[in-house]
Structure 1
């Protein structure tokens, strides 16, 4: 909201202005500001309440270290070094609930872990970002069931985690989805049910339609269903590869360049 007065002041002084909308359903501030800015960048294609003439599908910028990790992952895929599951190595499931974790997902995963048989425990390893409140409980729970898991309240090196993952279980925040698509990581998405205007579900729908993800509402999931979903995906290497390729095709690693080029164009600087 603090950007509104700044952008208005810029408009009054005839300074070109831009905004970026990460989500599929714009927030109130961007909806209001959109009427007087020069250009509007959006993360993914969709129907927005913005002027088509001013709107550019730029993608959502991701960090340089993730772009580098994505490039390495692509090179390894070409050389055949990422065939987990086909070489006897366990597959890696990355579980993220956003920066603060997701209590419901944490508890569901503990119940899923308790249902795994010995063969399934050998076939998969977990990396789980829990948030502070559930870290100890989740770590102890996995240990009690004999599931191999790296558990932390919060990870800072996401590029490293993405590089290890074969499948991701996550919320559907715009930044996470941009990173997953750039990395080409298939995902099981559980949108945050209390997000404004249910925008996380709308975010997820784009990636589901493109074949890179599946989405389930938190209210419809129990441990039995989630365990079945994960087991089926982790047990089907070809399906994971198809989803990974579809996710990669929806990624926009050049989002930063597109935005910068457009901004330079607005001020008459050619790059």
Structure 2
């Protein structure tokens, strides 16, 4: 079968779409991605998958901004309909974000079945607008806020797909740690980084007792404009720190880590629970509908993570949390096991099963004159304009 995946251009939307694409291709299906310029530029994702960029406006910005957004969405919808008439997908899968909006609207107008995947514990705005027309809504958490009661019957809990290389970490032993071993800390702020981590984490680690501070090994994602400041802070504290604006090999870094400090984005939580890594989570306070706090709750309740609200995220608070985690190697390993226990490592396979089921139940698509159907969307669409 042929599938179109539509995702906004942030890592939170793109990584699960990438994982599903890999699973569908393994099963012999054709896959095409619709995203925006940001999504197309994320390195290491969707190799060998045709990418199509559609116009898509962000709703908001007053009457003028709304008018521009509507025009852009309508233009994207028209372009998506032309694409679908040419390549005839069996289903379109939306992962949220405004770039997915026109792609899903076009699919519904052509009676192409649609599946929505919601990565967060709160249904996103675009998915709320599209939920009524969708044949199925795949979720990452047992309870999803902002979901209307009438749409509960469409829900299937599958989890949040992550890369195979992350899933394999959960099958390996937790990295050895004892009273004298190095404590390896990974600090990540999501695909865009987080200034608060640059401000608080180095100072917090510097406030640790010397016996623990001298055992630290840090890998931290840092925004470009903050790089030199953070590097100098770690140098003065004599803490070994490998800094990068983007962590290209997240599986390798996560595999080495004993503790992760970061935001509570959907992909971050999914990777932590698939790999089984304890974490200190600082939800983004301005996230829409405070969805990062909701994302963190299941992992925190399990004992696999500790959550600090950003207003209370100080160097001293962080130091106390790290000291508590490092003080008992057995408890740290138990926290890793509890994080792993709430992971859903088969999410990509379960989501692929769902979209195959939805596509298989679809009636013949009335999207244009009869013509020879391409055997593989990825081959047929290789020349599609981007």
Both structures adopt the same fold (TM-score exceeding 0.5) = yes
Q: Deviations over 1:198-247 (max 9, x none)?
A: 11111111211122111110101221111111111122212211211111
- 1: distance between equivalents of 2:317 and 2:257? 22
Query: In the alignment, which of 236, 253, 268 is matched to residue 328 of structure 2?
Result: 236
Q: Shift of the alpha carbon at 1:258?
A: 0.6
Matches within 5 A, 1:65-144: 65-71=165-171, 74=172, 76-77=173-174, 82-85=175-178, 88-144=180-236
How big is the shift at 1:4? 3.3
Equivalent residue for 2:135? Answer: 38
Q: 3-state DSSP class of the match of 1:267? A: helix
Secondary structure (helix, strand or coil) at the match of 2:186 reads: strand
Q: Does 1:173 align with 2:265?
A: yes
2:372 corresponds in structure 1 to: none
Structure 1's 96 and 5: CA in aligned 2 closer, same or farther, altered over 3 A? closer
Q: Of the candidates 140, 146, 153, which is equivalent to residue 238 of structure 2?
A: 146
- 1:25 corresponds to which residue? 122
Pick one of 59, 62, 66 that aligns with 2:159: 59
Q: Specify the SS of the correspondent of 1:59.
A: coil
The corresponding residue for 1:246 is: 338
Q: Distance in 1 between matches of 2:238 and 2:106?
A: 60
Could you tell me how far apart the structure 2 residues matched to 1:214 and 1:42 are? 23
Change (3 A) 1:63 1:145: same
In structure 2, how many angstroms separate the alpha carbons of the residues matched to 1:47 and 1:176? 18
Q: How far has the Cα of 1:187 moved from its partner?
A: 0.7
Q: TM-score of the superposition, structure 1-length normalised? A: 0.90
TM-fit CA distance, 1:27: 1.7
**Count of residue correspondences:** 261
Q: In structure 2, what is the Cα distance between the partners aligned to 1:67 and 1:147?
A: 30
- In the alignment, structure 2 segments of 5+ residues that lack a partner are 1-97, 362-386
User: Radius of gyration: which is bigger?
Assistant: 2
RMSD: 1.7
CA contact (8 A) 2:191 2:246 kept: yes
Equivalent residues in 2 for 1:184-203, closer than 5 Å: 184-203=276-295
Gaps of 5+ in 1: none
